[in-house]
A and B are shown apart, each in its own frame.
Chain A
Amino acid sequence: MSWLRISLTAFAISAALPVHAQTVTITTAGGDYGNAIKEAMWGPAAKELGYDVREETQSDGLAALKMQVTSGAVTTDVIHLGSPEGAQAAAQSLLEPLDYKIIDPKSVPDGAKSDYCYPFDSYGTVMSWNTKTYGQNPPKTWAEFWDVAKFSGRRALRANAQDSIEIALLSDGVAPADVYSVLSTPEGLERAIKRLEAIKPNVAVWWTSGAQSAQLLKDGEADLVITWNGRAQTVKADGGAADYTFKGSVIGTDCLGVPKGAPNKEAAMKLIAAMTQPARVAKLTDFIAYGPVNPAAYEGGLIPADRLKTLATAPENAGTSVFSNSEWWVKNGEAAQRAFDEMMAR
């Protein structure tokens, strides 16, 4: 089969000697997280593919995506979004369908699969606390987090309905498996909002960015903070008087999508496939405690055993968690946010 050999050689030569480098623009959230994604994922992938990858940072990916697509001036090829935003973007037809001929469809577990935004890592929205305030006896459940008589102290919550309403229901005795079926009824949403309203007088700060939540925890401005596990872990690792638990966490995923009308669509698909290879998403945990979605990344000791404990998706952390349901959020997000905002304004 010499023709095969010839075409393979030709392919190898053309790959090894690119006439001019393919440019691809990626948009991430920036900061430590954006840097981690660069170092572990797209940096090595770009080198392998011979791409010239340019980075843009946007703290609000969906707003930026919408602006680019609706104005017809799409400059980014790959965009990093939270999966609920990814689902929302897909519903508003802001994303190209993923090319699962280029990206391995088996790399995503069935429950997390998306046609438009490729989920690559996961995080938990967790309970964290100041160890100076609570010592060896912090709240252990969300019900205790809500128990202001037993655990006095200043709370900090995210100024967003996302994850907050799920946690509010968990604190009210709803089982993790039932959270979304309860939330889907009007009374269920109201129950969650009422629960948040009950703790509102004890909330010192409603934070708006992950970095801010970490600062509040580190400075002791708040004693009990609902935040993302990566942020809590960073504060703890930096020697802050803080700890956190995965018990009752809400697990969410982040994803990569290709904006509708992206200038380098095919190269973008190839970059997504290459940057999410098991070894690379496993490597991401060197920088930040966000665990891979791809089950293959947990095999072969790619992630050291002691680090597994710091990941929301680690086997031993499963069971009490709720998996954030992107579809629910696309359908009910606006009503939930509005109810949340109205509660805040009361």
Chain B
Amino acid sequence: MTVVRDPALAADARRERRFFLSLSLPALFIVGLAAILPILWIIRQSFLTTGGEYTVGNYQKVLSSGLTWSALVTTLELSLGTLAACILLGTPLALALASVRPRLANVLMAFVMLPLWTSILVRTYGWLVLLRRDGLINAALTGSGLTAEPLPLVYNFTGTLIGMVHYMLPLFLLPVYAAMRDIDPNLIRAAASMGATLRQVIRTVIMPLSAGGIFSGSIIVLIYAIGFFITPAVLGGGKVNPLSTRIERTLSTFQDWGSASVLGILLLVLMALIGVMLLAARRLVAQNTVEASHA
């Protein structure tokens, strides 16, 4: 296409661009109102005493407290644990879905998506019914004699992780499945015809080509998992306390909005850091893949 030289046409193009930009105004307005303003308000709040004077005391208090750091560690453990489980469970599942006939894949996909349409509260309490001491799973285990004592499946880290993985798995699966669907089957056939074993095909063809999907999925999982509140609150039994429950505690027990705002900002910073790290990692992997394919 040639560059528009006619001034009348150029003006036309400018008008068109302005029109398209103006179309995005309502969305920008909502985002500004619903996301940016509250964040600015939280930042201001984090520098205020309960009396309304400016201070950095909230930061000193929060950052010097061991409770903050143990909550941070729990947040990371939960998020990374959820991510690991999603990768281990979700990648083979996506592979299976991508390799069956499209009609069957659609049916299976519906099963995967079903939990997404259920409220998180309902699902969380559902897990409580399944996992508790005389719940279905423990009743089956002790009833069949597999275990003598009921297993501690809930009101701890394990239960929280189960609930979180259940929530995140479909969201992880979608981009991975999409990436795997897009792989040209001829590449797999070509690799196989050259004598590659199944393992080699997965390692050298499928995984590099679906790395983008896995990264997108990972970003979604981490961003959600860092802020999980209901699941640790209900399934953690008071023993699993990530930053989100720490914020709630700071608000409800201490009515300390300043410190709660600092914790909120900490969560935002953590999210940004993870985002940057993942993007950097993705670029690195992409580079390596390119180099490997040139080698």
Contacts and interface: CB of A to CB of B under 8 A. Distances in A.
A14 B67 CA distance: 60
B127 to A, nearest CB: 14
Contact of B237 (A66, A206, A338): A206
A315 B152 CA distance: 42
Contacts of A338: 67
Contact of A219 (B132, B152, B253): B132
A30 to B, nearest CB: 16
Nearest to A334: B254
Contacts of A341: 67, 249
A342 B70 CA distance: 10
A60 interface: yes
Contacts of B70: 345
B253 A337 contact: yes
A338 B65 CA distance: 10
Interface in B58-84: 66-67, 70-71
A255 to B, nearest CB: 17
Interface residues of B, number: 21
Contacts, number: 51
B132 A207 contact: no
A342 B255 contact: no
A206 B233 contact: no
Contacts of B133: 154, 219-221
Contacts of B253: 160, 337
B241 interface: yes
Contacts of B238: 159, 205-208, 344
B177 interface: no
Contacts of B157: none
B251 interface: yes
A137 interface: no
B134 interface: yes
B237 A205 contact: yes
Interface string A304-346: 0000000000000000000000000000001001100110110
> Which residue of A88, A154, A205 has the most chain B CB atoms within 10 A of its CB atom?
A205
Interface in A184-232: 204-208, 219-221
Contacts of A88: 255
Interface string B224-241: 000000000100011101
A62 interface: yes
B172 interface: no
A296 to B, nearest CB: 35
Contact of B155 (A60, A66, A204, A344): A204
A56 B255 CA distance: 20
B221 to A, nearest CB: 25
B251 A344 contact: no
Given A205-B155, A344-B238, A62 B255 contact: yes
Nearest to B73: A345
A207 B236 CA distance: 10
A92 interface: yes
Given A92-B255, A341-B249, A208 B67 contact: no
A160 B238 CA distance: 10
Contact of B134 (A206, A220, A334): A220
Interface in B257-292: none
B252 interface: yes
Nearest to A212: B234
Contacts of B50: 92
11 contacts: A63-B251, A66-B255, A154-B133, A206-B239, A207-B238, A219-B134, A221-B155, A344-B239, A345-B66, A345-B70, A345-B71
Given A160-B253, A219-B133, 19 more contacts: A60-B252, A63-B255, A66-B255, A92-B255, A154-B133, A159-B238, A204-B152, A204-B237, A205-B237, A206-B238, A207-B237, A208-B233, A219-B134, A221-B132, A334-B254, A337-B254, A341-B249, A344-B238, A345-B70
